[in-house]
Structure 1
Amino acid sequence: MKPPIAQRRPSQRLLHGVTVTDDYAWLKDEKWQEVLRDPSLLDPDIRAYLEAENAYAEERLGPTKELQKTLVAEMRSRIKEDDSGVPTPDGPFSYLWKFREGGQHQLIGRTPRGGGEMQTILDGDALAKASDYFKFGGTRHSPDHALEAWSADLRGSEYFALRIRRWNTGEDLPDILTETGGSVVWGRDSSFFFYVQVDENHRPLKVFRHRLGTAQADDILVHEEKDIGWFTHIGESASGRFCVISGGDHDTTEEWLIDLSVPDAMPRLIAPRETGVRYSVADRGDELFILTNEGGAIDFKIVTAPLAAPERANWRELVPHRPGTYILGIDLFAGHLVRLERANALPSIVIRDLATQAEHTIAFDETAYSLDMIGGYEFDTTVMRFAYSSMTTPSEVYDYDMATRQRTLRKRQEIPSGHDPAAYVTTRITAIARDGAEVPVSILHRRDLVRDSGAPLLLYGYGSYGMAMPASFSANRLSLVDRGFVYAIAHIRGGSDKGWSWYLDGKREKKTNTFDDFVAAGHALIEARYTSTGRIVGHGGSAGGMLMGAVANRAPDLFAGILAEVPFVDVLATMLDDKLPLTPPEWPEWGNPITDEAAFNTIRSYSPYDNVVAQAYPAILAMAGLTDPRVTYWEPAKWVARLRATMTGGGPVILHTNMGAGHGGASGRFSRLDEVAIGYAFALDTVGLAGAKP
C-alpha cells in the first residue's frame, strides 16, 4: 500500500519581507473551534485524508499486530487492577480513589477516618458508558462533607462540564456548568464555589462565583483577565482560608486572594504584575509565605509578608536565593514550611520548623531518582506525604512526621507479574554540549547488558517550559528494556533540571540549545558504549515532539527512528495564529513572530515543518489527536505530508490520528496501553527486534 499523498494547495503570506509558502495549510479546518466541541463537523476532505493516513498506518504497522497485543498484555500484567490510593484524611473522613478489577476509570470515595468500608460517590466506569471518551477533571468535596463537585471531559478537547453530587443520595443537583477548566474552590459555608470558564478560543480568562441552586447565566464574574496571553487558575490557599486566583504566562505571574468565609468577597491583589517576576503565595494566620524570583533570584527564594500589607515593599527574606539550587515549590503547614528543591537534576525535600527555624532534609542515595510532595487537606498537622521512585524502584508513598522525623511507608507500587529491581541498573552520565554545557543523562538497562554490543536505545527528551523530566519509575518501559533496549532520559536545556537558568538557556533565541543538547546526549551514549550510531530511537511528545522534528532535520543519521507524540512541529504558523488557544500565552516562551522580526527569523530557522529538506530521514511515527486543543491535529498532518513530498530516502513516515481523543490520547488506563504499544512496537521494529522475546 502506498502512503497517501496530500494535495498541494499553496497559500502564501508576506511577513517581515519574507514570503512564507504553505502547501498544506488546507488541512486546518477553519471551523476548528466547532470541531473541538463536535468532531463530526470536521471537513469531509480533511477527514478523508486523515482516515487514509490511518489506513496506511494500519497496513504499515500490520506486521507488528501480534507484538502490540503481546506488549499490551505485558504492560497490563504489571498493573494492579484493583489498585487504590492512600486515603487522605480530612475531618471525620479519609478520601481516596480506587479501581475495580478490569475497570478503566477511577472510583472516587471515602471511608470513616479510622478505617472502614469505602463509600463510592463517583463511579468512573459507569459514567464512561455514555460516551466514547471520558476523563475526570477535578473532584472536590465541600467543607461540610455533604457534596462533591466533579467534572468530566467527553471529547478529549478539555471542555469540562461541572456537576454537584450529594453524598447521602448519590444524586446530582440540577446545577450543570459547561465549558469550565474543571476544578472548583468551595466557600466555607458550602453554599457556593468558584470556577474558571474558558472562552470561545479555549482560553481560561474568567473566574465566576456560583451559588448552588442558580443558573450558570446568573453566576457572578469576580475576576477577568484582559491579557489574552495569560492563563488563569484557581486553588485553595495552604490554610484553606482563601481562594487563590493565579494568573500568568511563562515569564510573569500575579495572584489574588478571596476570603472564602465571606460569600460576596471580591479578590484582593497581592502584588501587581511586573514583567519577569514570578511569585506564588501560601498563608499562615496573618502571615504570607511567598516563593518568588524577585530581585534576580533566578532559582527562587522564599520571603514573608504581612497579610494586611502584602505588597513587595513589605517582603522579607526567609530562605535566600542559592544559584544552582532551584526551589520548585513549597507546602505550608501550621508549624512547618516544606520546600522541594532540585540541584543538578536531583531533588530533595527540606523541612523547616517555624518555631525554631531549624531545618532538616529528606534525600535518597540512588544515582538518579524522583521525589514529589503530595498535598493533603489538613493544615494543622505535623504529617506531610511524599512519593519516591527511581528508574529501577517502583513508587513508594510515605507519611512523614515533621516533628518526630518518623517515616511511615503507606504504599509501595505493586507489580503483579513481578519485578526485581536488582535485575536492572540505573546510572547517569554527562554529555558535553556544543557550547560546553554539561547535560545529565539518566540511564536504565538490564544488569546483564553487554556494553559495546550496539544495543538499541530509546532516548527521551522534552526541554521546554521549565519542565524537568524526573528519573522516575515506569512499568511500561520494562517491555523495551527486557528486550534489550537501553532507556535514557536527556535532561536538556529548556527544562529546569539544573535550575531555572537551565530553562532560560533553552528558550526563545536560545532554543536551539535544546536540540544541540539532545544530539550531544545521543553522541555521549554512543561514546560510553551503550549504543551505536543509527541504533537510537528518539522519543518526545508535545513540545518534546517539536524536539523530535528538529533533531530529525539536524541529525537524521543518528537515529533509527523517531517517535513523536502530538508533536508541536508547525511552530511558525502556530505562533503566527493569535486565534489558537495557546498562541498568545506562548509568545513569552518562543517569541512573537507577528510583531518581532528577530523572533520570526529565529522560529523560522528551527521550526521542524519549515525546515524539512531533501535528505534521507529515519523512520518516523507521528501520533495525533483530532480534538487536541494544545497541539492541533493539523500540525503533525502537515509535517508528515511535507516530509513525504521532500525527503529523498529513508522512512517510512507514518501518521496515526486518534479520531476520538485529544492531547492525552485514549482515555481509560487500559485503552491508553494500546497507543503505548503502537509506539513501542514501532521502536522495536525499527531496530529489528519486533520478534525479540523479553
Structure 2
Amino acid sequence: MTDTRDAAPVQPPHADTRDHLRTHHGDEVNDRYEWLRAKDDAAVLAHLEAENAYTDARTTHLAGLRDRIFDEIKGRTLETDLSVPTRRGSWWYYGRTVEGSEYGIQCRAPLAGDDDWTPPVLEPGVPVPGEQIILDGNVEAEGHDFFSLGSFEVSTDGALLLYGTDVEGDERYTLRLRDIASGKQLADEIPGTFAGASLSPDGRFVVYSTVDDAWRPDTVWLHEIGADAASDTRLFHEPDERYWVGAGFTRSDRYLVIEVGSSITSEEFLVPADDLRAEPRSVWPRREGVEYSVSHAVVGGEDVLYVLHNEDAVDFELVRVRASDPTGERTVVIAHESGRRLDGLSTFRDFAVVGYRRDGLQRLALFDYARSAMAELEFAEPLYTVGMGGNPEWAPPVLRLGYGSFVTPGAVYDYVVASGELILRKQQPVLGGYESSDYAQERLWATADDGTRIPVSLVWKRSFGTPGGDGGARALHLYGYGSYEHSIDPSMSVSRLSLLDRGVVFAVAHVRGGGEMGRRWYEEGKLLHKRNTFTDFVAVARHLVDTGWTSPDRLVAEGGSAGGLLMGAVANLAPELFAGVLAAVPFVDALTTILDPSLPLTVIEWDEWGDPLHDADVYAYMKSYSPYENVREDAAYPRILAVTSLNDTRVLYVEPAKWVARLREVGADALLKCEMSAGHGGVSGRYNSWRERAFELAWLLDVVGLAD
C-alpha cells in the first residue's frame, strides 16, 4: 500500500481528560472524555473545530482527487431532470431538479381526462402544459445552511399544500399550509412537530405528532385548519417510553390509523375519517412480543381489515377480520412459511400487493381478494431490488413499481394489473457512457464461526478481471449494517462508480441483525446475540481475503449509525484485517447512551440492545462489545475516519468525538469530521452531499493506495 499522506508534521488536537465517575451493578467507570457531551460549551465547540482543522490538514493532499470525484459524480448526473409523474385526483405530480440548484422543485400538471392513466413523458427544457409549481425547495432554503422537508402532502381536492420544514438538522419540523392556486400562505403554523403529518380526506384537518423530552414521538394531534394551534385536540398519547407513535390515513380514506410500536410489540387504533374526534378504537390489544399492521379493504361489500402479524408465526402470516369486530373470527389468507418473511401489504379497491423476502431478496406479488392467492412478479437478474412506488389512488388499473440492481440504474415501471405487462416509464440516466454490461454482480456465501452461512453481495468492473481469479486480489470496499431488521438491498450508485472504475470491488456483508434472511436473522443479531453481527462481518472479511478477492492492506470497511457500531466493534475484534474503517454518525459509545434514559430515544432502544440500567447481564454484555469501552492497548488499528454532525439527534456527535480521542491514546491514526450545521443524514442539498461523499471516497482511495 502506498501512503500518499502529506509528510508535513501535523499534530492532532489534544482532548483534555476530566474525571467523570459512574457506577452500575457494582462496576465503576471513569469516563474521562464525557465532558465533550456539553454541546454548548465553548471548549467543546473549539475542540470540534480543531478536529475539523486537523482533518482538513491531514487530507489537504486529496483536494485534487476530491474535486475529480465530485466532477465525476456531477458529470454522470443529469442535473436538470424530471421524475415520472404520479396520478392523484385530477393531477399528475412530479419533481424537477435544475442544474446549479441544491433542492428539488415539486410540480403538477392537469390530467387529460378521468381515464388518463398514462403519465406524460416529460423532458428537460420542454414546457409542460398547465404546470404549477407547488413548492420550490431552493426558495424555502434561502438564508439557511440546512433544509429538509419532513411532511409534504396535497389535499384530496388538490387545493391545499401541507408541508413541514427543518432548517437546523434536528428533525423538528414547522408545519405550514399554502393555497396552491393563489400561492397564498395560510395563517396556520405549527412548530416543533415530528415528520409525517397528514391532511384529512375532506381537507378540513391536519393530523400531526409531537415528541417528548427524550425526542420520542408520543402524541397525535388534530388541528382544524384556520383555528388557533393552541386549541388543537389531543387525539392520542402514549405514556410508555418504549413506544413510538405515528398516524396516517388508509388509502381508502375510510380510517385514520394510529400506530403504536416498539421494536418487538405494536398496537394499532382506528378512528373514522369522517369523525376524527371519536375515541380511537384498538384493533388488537397489545401483547408483549406481538407485532401487527392493519390494512383496510372492502371485500364482498363488507369492510374488512387485513392484519399482518407474528403471533405464533415468526416470519408473519396474513389474516382477514371484520372491521366491525377485529378481535372476532380470523381467516388465514396467507399462512406462515418459515424463511418467507412477509413485510407488508398494500390494499387497493380490487386487489392488494404483498411485499416479502425470500432467499435474501425482496419480492412482490399481486394478491387476489376472492381467492386469497398470490402471483409473484418475476425478474431476471440474480440480484435486484423491487418495491412499490407512489400509488396514492384507491382504484388504479396500473401499479407504480421501482426496480434496480447493482448494475441496473433505478427504473420506474407501471405494472398493468389486467394483463401483467410491465411498462418501463423511466430509467435513471447515467451520463458519460455508462454501460451496465461493463460491470458484474454476484452473490456468494461466507461461513460464520457457528457455521451459519452469511450472504455477501458484490459488484465490480469487468475490465479489471474477475477478483480472486484472473483479476487477482483487489482493493475492496466492504459495507455492513446489521440492526433493526434493516436490509441492505442491491442498488446502483452513481458515486460508487468512482470506485469501481478505479478497480475497487464493492461488497455488502448481509450480517445477522439485519432482515435479509427473515425474522430469525434479525433475532440472532440483537440483544444478547448482538456479537453475531460483528463476528459475521469479520467472517465475511476473512472469507474475501482467504479466497483471494482482496488482501488486508487493500480492504476498507464502512458502516453508518448502528453500522458505525459495527465498524467500531470489528476494528477492536480484528484490526489486522482492515486497512481502513469509515464510520458515519457511528453509535460507538453504545453503553453510555443506553444507560441514560434521559437521552433521546434510549428507552425505546432497550428492545433492540437490552436494558443495561436494570439488568447486570445486559450491562456486562454491552460493555464487552461497546467500541469506546474496548479500545485495545495492544492493537495496531487501521486508519479510521469518523464522520458526524453537531445537530444529530439520533447518534450524538459526542460518541465519535470520545471514540476518536480514546483511539488516539493508543496511537491510532483516527480522524474526526464534524459537520457543524447538519443532522443524522449529513449535510443537506445534493451538491453538498456529493462533496461530502467525494471527501469520503477520496480518503478511502488513499487508504488502499489508489489516490491518483
TM range (shorter): over 0.9
- Within 2, Cα distance between the matches of 1:107 and 1:242? 31
Aligned with residue 673 of structure 2, among 656, 671, 678: 656
Q: Residue 161 of structure 2: SS of its match in structure 1?
A: strand
Q: Residue 257 of structure 2: SS of its match in structure 1?
A: strand
Q: Which residue of 1 aligns with 2:188?
A: 175
Give unpaired runs (5+ residues) of structure 2: 1-9, 113-119, 121-128
Aligned with residue 308 of structure 1, among 321, 324, 347: 324
How much has 1:137 moved relative to structure 2? 1.2
- Within 2, Cα distance between the matches of 1:213 and 1:347? 44
Q: How many residues align structurally?
A: 675
The yes-or-no answer on 1:532 pairing with 2:551 is yes
Q: Residue 409 of structure 2: SS of its match in structure 1?
A: coil
Matches within 5 A, 1:207-226: 207-226=220-239
Summarize deviations over 1:230-289 as a string: whole Å, max 9, x none: 111112213122121111111011111121122433321111111110001000131001
- Within 2, Cα distance between the matches of 1:357 and 1:402? 16
Q: Which residue of 2 aligns with 1:48?
A: 46
Matches within 5 A, 1:372-383: 372-383=387-398
Q: Which residue of 1 aligns with 2:19?
A: 10
Aligned-residue Cα RMSD (Å) equals 1.2
Q: Which residue of 1 aligns with 2:61?
A: 63
Q: Residue 182 of structure 1: SS of its match in structure 2?
A: coil
Summarize deviations over 1:200-244 as a string: whole Å, max 9, x none: 332210000001112221111010010112111112213122121
- Within 2, Cα distance between the matches of 1:136 and 1:464? 26
Q: Which residue of 2 aligns with 1:37?
A: none
How much has 1:358 moved relative to structure 2? 4.1
Matches within 5 A, 1:336-347: 336-347=351-362
- Within 2, Cα distance between the matches of 1:490 and 1:627? 30
Aligned with residue 112 of structure 1, among 107, 110, 113: 110
- Within 2, Cα distance between the matches of 1:246 and 1:544? 27
Q: Which residue of 1 aligns with 2:5?
A: none
Aligned 8 A contact 1:238 1:284 in 2: no
Aligned with residue 541 of structure 2, among 522, 527, 541: 522
The yes-or-no answer on 1:582 pairing with 2:604 is no
Summarize deviations over 1:177-216 as a string: whole Å, max 9, x none: 1111132222232111210012333221000000111222
The yes-or-no answer on 1:639 pairing with 2:652 is no
How much has 1:489 moved relative to structure 2? 0.5
Aligned 8 A contact 1:237 1:282 in 2: yes
Aligned 8 A contact 2:474 2:504 in 1: yes
Greater Cα offset, 285-294 or 198-207: 198-207
* Counterpart code for 2:423: T
Q: Which residue of 1 aligns with 2:695?
A: 678
Q: Which residue of 2 aligns with 1:629?
A: 649
- Within 1, Cα distance between the matches of 2:514 and 2:530? 11
Aligned with residue 174 of structure 2, among 131, 139, 161: 161
Greater Cα offset, 54-63 or 258-267: 258-267
* Counterpart code for 1:84: L
Q: Which residue of 1 aligns with 2:440?
A: 425
Q: Which residue of 2 aligns with 1:299?
A: 315
Q: What's the TM-score once normalised by structure 1's chain length?
A: 0.96
Q: Residue 635 of structure 1: SS of its match in structure 2?
A: helix
- Within 1, Cα distance between the matches of 2:257 and 2:92? 24
The yes-or-no answer on 1:280 pairing with 2:293 is yes
Aligned 8 A contact 2:55 2:672 in 1: yes
- Within 2, Cα distance between the matches of 1:249 and 1:137? 21
Q: Which residue of 1 aligns with 2:375?
A: 360
* Counterpart code for 2:704: V
Give unpaired runs (5+ residues) of structure 1: 33-41
* Counterpart code for 1:105: Y
Q: Residue 506 of structure 1: SS of its match in structure 2?
A: coil
Q: Residue 353 of structure 2: SS of its match in structure 1?
A: strand
Summarize deviations over 1:56-91 as a string: whole Å, max 9, x none: 000001110110111111011122212222211112
Q: Residue 82 of structure 2: SS of its match in structure 1?
A: coil
The yes-or-no answer on 1:27 pairing with 2:43 is no
Q: Which residue of 1 aligns with 2:585?
A: 566
Aligned 8 A contact 1:335 1:382 in 2: no
Aligned with residue 101 of structure 1, among 90, 99, 102: 99
Aligned 8 A contact 1:535 1:558 in 2: no
Matches within 5 A, 1:507-518: 507-518=526-537
The 4+ residue runs of structure 1 with deviation greater than 4 A are none
Percent identity, please: 41
Matches within 5 A, 1:192-211: 192-211=205-224
How much has 1:476 moved relative to structure 2? 1.0
Q: Which residue of 1 aligns with 2:126?
A: none
Summarize deviations over 1:99-128 as a string: whole Å, max 9, x none: 122221111121112353421110001111
Q: Residue 448 of structure 1: SS of its match in structure 2?
A: helix
Summarize deviations over 1:635-665 as a string: whole Å, max 9, x none: 0000000110124xxx420000000101011
Q: Residue 594 of structure 1: SS of its match in structure 2?
A: coil
Aligned with residue 86 of structure 1, among 84, 87, 96: 84
- Within 1, Cα distance between the matches of 2:200 and 2:438? 51
Q: Which residue of 1 aligns with 2:632?
A: 613
Q: Residue 579 of structure 2: SS of its match in structure 1?
A: strand
